[in-house]
Structures are given as structure tokens and as C-alpha cells.
Amino acid sequence: MSTIQFNRITIIGLGHIGSSIARAVKQLRLANELVVTDGSAAIRARAAEIGLGDRVAADNIEAVKDSDLVIVCVPVGNLGKATAEIASHLKAGAIVSDVGSVKGPVTREMASHLPKTVHLVPGHPVAGTEDSGPDSGFAELFINRWCILTPLPDADAAAVEKLATLWRTIGANVETMSPDHHDMVLAVTSHLPHLIAYTIVGTAEDMEKVTEAEVLKFSAGGFRDFTRIAASDPTMWRDIFLANKDAVLEMLGTFQEDLSKLTRAIRHGDGEALFDHFTRTRAIRRGIVNLGQDSSGANFGRPTEKLPQDKTPAPSK
């Protein structure tokens, strides 16, 4: 049984990540009181209906009153505004965190609004699905997934460790790095793949108009997986690309150079270059599986229907 780690925890924003944190905190009883809120009245009503928190606050200011830990789970484009709104209403010693996929500029903006009496410990749980909304969350989302904490150099070490303990308790592996380094790493591992997915699915939509539905009808696993990535929340990803544009543009330039090399190899029939490249990338996939970040099961671990068995009696000899 988990022990209470905070007297009061507040979660602002009840989308997929926020509602998953709420479920995990409540299920493990990590706070004497869990307060939740959202900018949407309809989502607040739904949160009350499904019991996401011990109390659903009417607004952000009410929600953070006397809270020991505030986790702001709103799109990165709204983090600065939300932080400015609650800044003067936070209790001394409170920890403020977030779950945004961009850290450098966002962390600096959040820090500019907060008083010196509170502790800013930004975070990014590298987890989630393409679903959104308060009903999409589940308590087990963070098990064996990474949560990256990006405290500024002058951050209080005890506050960082206290937040890290909470993330570990709900199942996550915790890594600490600088905000700007985080943005470069995530530009490669998350942001660029999403940009490519959106582009490929958009290209397929254009092709769909001239192939009489064959693109979608015959979509194999690769294209299907691209559509899953491209189904993510458009507001969230718009804000991510705008906030992390420098790192994304740098990685996009590197990707374009690599794509040009593959283009030349295909044009010139350089099978050895293609084989070497595919061998290296296959090894990366194996490394991800070995680290427990994905399944090695057949069909990427997806459930597969079985063919019906023939129950016709075998002919007698």
C-alpha cells in the first residue's frame, strides 16, 4: 500500500495525461486531498461525475489554494498564462510542475511568473495515446515509461526529489536533464516523428483522391501506425512545434540530409548503402524492445484474431 506523500495535490487540466495522473494519485492515495479542475465547464462536470478527484474546483485559483503540489496539464501554449494566473495564490513552499513536451522556453516563462517562495520543477511524462479527454486516462499509463524532470540550476533539491518520488510511485522511470537538452532529445524522438507522420498521412489523403480509396483500403502496418500518430491532439502539437521550433528545425535539416543520401542510393541502385542503413536502424528497434519500451511480440503485440478451427471429423481409414 502506498503512503500519503502530499497533504493536497492539485491537477489543472483533465485531458489524457492529467486524468491519468489523477487516477493514479487517487488509486494509490498519495494525497489526503486531490483537487482537480479544467477550463471547460463540461469537463469539470464530467470529472465530478466519474470521480476524478476528491473535489472539483470551479477555477484554477480556487484549485491551488493551500495545495502542496500543483501539476499544470494544459497545452504548452497555455502554460505561461496558467502559471501567471495562479502565481500569487500559491502557498509558500508549494511545488509547481507541468507535463509539457517542450521545456526550454516554457520553463523560463513559467519561472518568470512564479514567486521565489515556491519551487518550480518542470516535468514531461513520455507516455500517452492518441486519445484525449477525461475519460481517456488510466492509472497504469506511466508504468515503465519515462518521466523527464528539467529543474533549473537553482532548483531546490528536496523539491525535485519529492516530485521524482511521486512519479516513481505511479510507475515511471525518472530522468533529470536541462530544459534545452530535453528539447533537443525530444525533437528527435517525438516531435520529428510526429511531423513526418502528419506529412505522410496528408500526402496519402491527396493520393486518395486519385486512387479510388485504394490508399486507405490497402494500408499496411506502417501506414496504419503513421495514422495513429497523426491522430494526436492538433492543438497540442501545433503548440509543441511553435514552442520548440529551433530544435525541430535543426533535426528536420539533419533528416533531410539523411533522406537525400537514401534518395541517391535508390537512384543509383546502391543496395549496399541501403542494406547498411536498414541494418543500423533495425538494431535501434531491438534496443528499444530490450529497454522494455515496446513489445517484441508478433504484430507489435497487438491482439490478433484466430482462424476458426475445422471441426469436420477426419475421414475414417
Q: Which pLDDT does position 225 carry in this prediction? A: 73
Q: Which pLDDT does position 220 carry in this prediction? A: 61
Residues 226, 279: contact at Cβ < 8 Å?
Answer: no
Q: Is 316 within the bounds of a domain?
A: no
Last residue of a domain, one of 134, 152, 177: 177
Same domain (yes/no): 149, 31: yes
Q: Is 314 within the bounds of a domain?
A: no
Residues 186, 244: contact at Cβ < 8 Å?
Answer: yes
Residues 224, 178: contact at Cβ < 8 Å?
Answer: no
Same domain (yes/no): 188, 173: no
Q: Could you give the maximum distance between any two Cα atoms of the chain, in Å?
A: 89
Last residue of a domain, one of 177, 211, 232: 177
Q: Mean pLDDT per segment of 10 residues, for the chain of length 317 residues?
A: 89 96 96 97 97 97 98 94 98 97 94 97 90 91 95 96 98 96 91 84 69 62 72 83 90 90 93 89 69 54 55 60
Whether this prediction's pTM lies above 0.85 is answered by: no
Same domain (yes/no): 81, 157: yes
Same domain (yes/no): 23, 132: yes
Going by C-alpha positions, the residue among 44, 45, 51 that lies closest to residue 25 is 51
Q: Which pLDDT does position 299 carry in this prediction? A: 47
Q: Give the range of the structural domain holding residue 254, as residue numbers without chain letter.
A: 181-293
Same domain (yes/no): 52, 188: no
Q: Which pLDDT does position 73 carry in this prediction? A: 97
Q: Which pLDDT does position 290 carry in this prediction? A: 63
Q: Residue 56 and residue 37: Cα distance in Å, rounded?
A: 6
Same domain (yes/no): 286, 185: yes
Q: Which pLDDT does position 278 carry in this prediction? A: 86
Number of domains in the chain: 2
Q: Is 13 within the bounds of a domain?
A: yes
Q: Which pLDDT does position 157 carry in this prediction? A: 97
Q: Which pLDDT does position 129 carry in this prediction? A: 78
**241 backbone φψ class: left, alpha, beta (φ>0; ψ -120 to 50):** alpha
CATH number for the domain including 131?
3.40.50.720
Same domain (yes/no): 31, 137: yes
Q: Residue 278 and residue 197: Cα distance in Å, rounded?
A: 19
> What backbone phi and psi angles, to 5 degrees, belong to 55?
-150, 140
Residues 158, 40: contact at Cβ < 8 Å?
Answer: no
Same domain (yes/no): 142, 28: yes
For 188-244, write each residue's pLDDT tens digit: 888 888 888 888 777 776 766 655 566 666 666 667 777 777 777 788 888 888 999
